[in-house]
Chain A
């Protein structure tokens, strides 16, 4: 393996000024194309998208309805019915597109769903413990002991102001919109993924729930963890400060910038910003 800094291709004594992460992004998407639907119904939604997210950074994808933002999150996590037709996506240098969804999860990829799914009959604790142990098994690690699991769960539930009773109930069944999103954050904190994709995590949240969720996400920020935040509105970015903002339209990234781009989008709208970018 080449060292990111001072690799064998560089003359002796020369090192790159940028951080190692920039040379080797954590999530690297290159010229990705993907269709949704089967057979003749298949429709090209992602059209040559390129995006790098280094470890330790939070990147935001904003864009109008129908830009393909949620599709991108499903393609990256391997949902059935989403077919990659070109390009590549790697996580820490490993091709993820050929993996089963559960293998990607075990590699540390986590998707916080825009609409978390209800699973009647499966209590939250059973669900998360099964997920945690399945991931560990795939990674060749030992299972977590019941006392360790319960201790960890208690601490995180407290931090997220989650009622312990809620964790005994079936996953998302009868939960309010805010509770569902908080449960996504709970799962995220329990599973400690390496890379997070948050798909419209702010939708359906009142301001208090939004703050709790944002605090949870911010607590997950770490030098060895990357995040891709998909959102419609700037309001989430008042609470989660991004390193980079990308604007997605018609299946590709059309412009990128710093946090100020989000403010401009809020002021000028997508038409204003996109008019100039296209």
Chain B
């Protein structure tokens, strides 16, 4: 079995062989097997695969090893938040859960079907679990006035894999946050959110960690009729950090907001990739991505809206990506795509990149603000709009961004 899978991966590198070995050590399970097969068909994605041309995971991850130790400080979340922590070898969870949210023993949501075009999502599904870690951490949410659920991915080690599923029953409401603090050489996780009719979920992602690490956080989101999903991401990149979201509108009148900001220093690579399928009528998508990159940093934005012929009518979708190249030598790659087959839709997209405005910089310096501070203020102002959707975590994300800008 393991040998057959190893043969599936062409020219495997040491990291891929290690992944095969890890799979071989886990208990047998049909879902796990399907997921690993899906991953193994292509192995670690590389630049010759469309969708990964600017984010070559295979090159960034020749071996899986424990990176240099880093300081890990989590973002400040509200008191009373339900905190779950995944480390390379362990898992911690709150003692009790309030009424309105419970853990399920058996997978219910089939949001993720081990699709081959989400190879790192499939890999996370295949390798999560083992020891104290759950193969899939599953939640059913029925309440509305619930404390925030916070996931922390941290701790030193070679690799950290996790799979999380949420089913929000009709009318349920929840705020979720995910904090990627680094520490593992390779982190891959898959988070699936299924929102039933009229449910509301706000997801906030903050990605930090060390610059020797590779991270792939894949989210798969399904929205039933009139569901309302808001996602706000702040990414600082890593050796390579890919934050990918696959969202499907499958009930009419659903609403999705997908905002992100990335800030990349030298040696950091942040990839924000999203694909939204308007598979039901009269659904709305708003997407705003802002980025700022320093010399030696790389930002990648790939956004796609897919609107099928019949079911996608009355789609209202807008996609904007604006990047600041703060210094010579900064790199930003962007691919906004609209694929529309329905005729009664409103779809727009915009994509810009440029430097800070010399007039604004001089005006601020003339008032006595140092060049470094002026640049920091202007950059913070530039990305701030993308963080406005984070609710009570907006200020927290702004502080994180400010900390980066003040370095």
Enumerate chain A interface residues (CB-CB to B < 8 A): 77-80, 100-102, 104-106, 110-111, 113, 116-122, 126-128, 130-132, 134-135, 138, 170, 187, 191
Contact of A119 among B368, B381, B385 (CB under 8 A): B381
A131 touching B369, Cβ below 8 Å: yes
A105 touching B360, Cβ below 8 Å: no
Write the chain B residue with the least CB distance to A109: B366
Knowing A121-B381, A122-B378 are in contact, say whether A130-B362 is a contact too (CB < 8 A).
Answer: no
Knowing A117-B359, A121-B382, A122-B377 are in contact, say whether A127-B367 is a contact too (CB < 8 A).
Answer: yes
How far, in Å, is A117 (CB) from chain B's closest CB? 4
Contact of B363 among A119, A126, A132 (CB under 8 A): A119
19 further contact pairs, Cβ within 8 A, besides A122-B377, A127-B367, A191-B368:
A78-B366, A100-B365, A100-B370, A100-B371, A101-B362, A101-B365, A101-B366, A105-B367, A117-B363, A119-B363, A119-B378, A121-B380, A122-B378, A126-B377, A130-B377, A131-B367, A131-B368, A134-B369, A138-B368
How far, in Å, is B40 (CB) from chain A's closest CB? 46
B377 touching A113, Cβ below 8 Å: no
Q: How far is the CA of A80 from the CA of B366 in the complex (A)?
A: 11
Q: Do most interface residues of chain B lie in helix, strand or loop, or is the interface mixed?
A: helix
Question: 6 interchain pairs (CB within 8 A)?
Answer: A77-B366, A80-B362, A105-B367, A110-B367, A130-B373, A191-B367
Q: How far is the CA of A78 from the CA of B357 in the complex (A)?
A: 16
Write the chain A residue with the least CB distance to B362: A79
B26 contacts A by Cβ under 8 Å: no
Neighbouring A residues of B364 by C-beta, 8 Å: 119, 127, 131
Neighbouring A residues of B373 by C-beta, 8 Å: 130, 134
Enumerate chain B interface residues (CB-CB to A < 8 A): 357-360, 362-371, 373, 377-378, 380-382, 384-385
Q: How far is the CA of A138 from the CA of B372 in the complex (A)?
A: 14
Q: How far is the CA of A120 from the CA of B377 in the complex (A)?
A: 10
A134 touching B370, Cβ below 8 Å: yes
Sorted nearest first, the 5 A-B pairs with minimum C-beta distance are A121-B381, A135-B368, A105-B368, A131-B367, A101-B365
Knowing A121-B382, A130-B373 are in contact, say whether A116-B368 is a contact too (CB < 8 A).
Answer: no
Which interface residue of A77, A130, A170 has the most chain B CB atoms within 10 A?
A: A130
Knowing A102-B370, A122-B377, A130-B369 are in contact, say whether A113-B363 is a contact too (CB < 8 A).
Answer: yes
A105 touching B381, Cβ below 8 Å: no
Q: How far is the CA of A191 from the CA of B368 in the complex (A)?
A: 9
Neighbouring B residues of A117 by C-beta, 8 Å: 357, 359-360, 362-363
B363 touching A134, Cβ below 8 Å: no
Q: How far is the CA of A100 from the CA of B371 in the complex (A)?
A: 9
Q: How far is the CA of A110 from the CA of B382 in the complex (A)?
A: 26
Write the chain B residue with the least CB distance to A139: B368
How far, in Å, is B406 (CB) from chain A's closest CB? 12
Q: How far is the CA of A134 from the CA of B358 in the complex (A)?
A: 19
Neighbouring A residues of B357 by C-beta, 8 Å: 117
Write the chain B residue with the least CB distance to A117: B363
Neighbouring B residues of A187 by C-beta, 8 Å: 367
Q: How far is the CA of A187 from the CA of B364 in the complex (A)?
A: 12
Q: How far is the CA of A187 from the CA of B368 in the complex (A)?
A: 11
A102 touching B365, Cβ below 8 Å: yes
B366 touching A111, Cβ below 8 Å: yes
How far, in Å, is B132 (CB) from chain A's closest CB? 45
Neighbouring B residues of A138 by C-beta, 8 Å: 368, 370
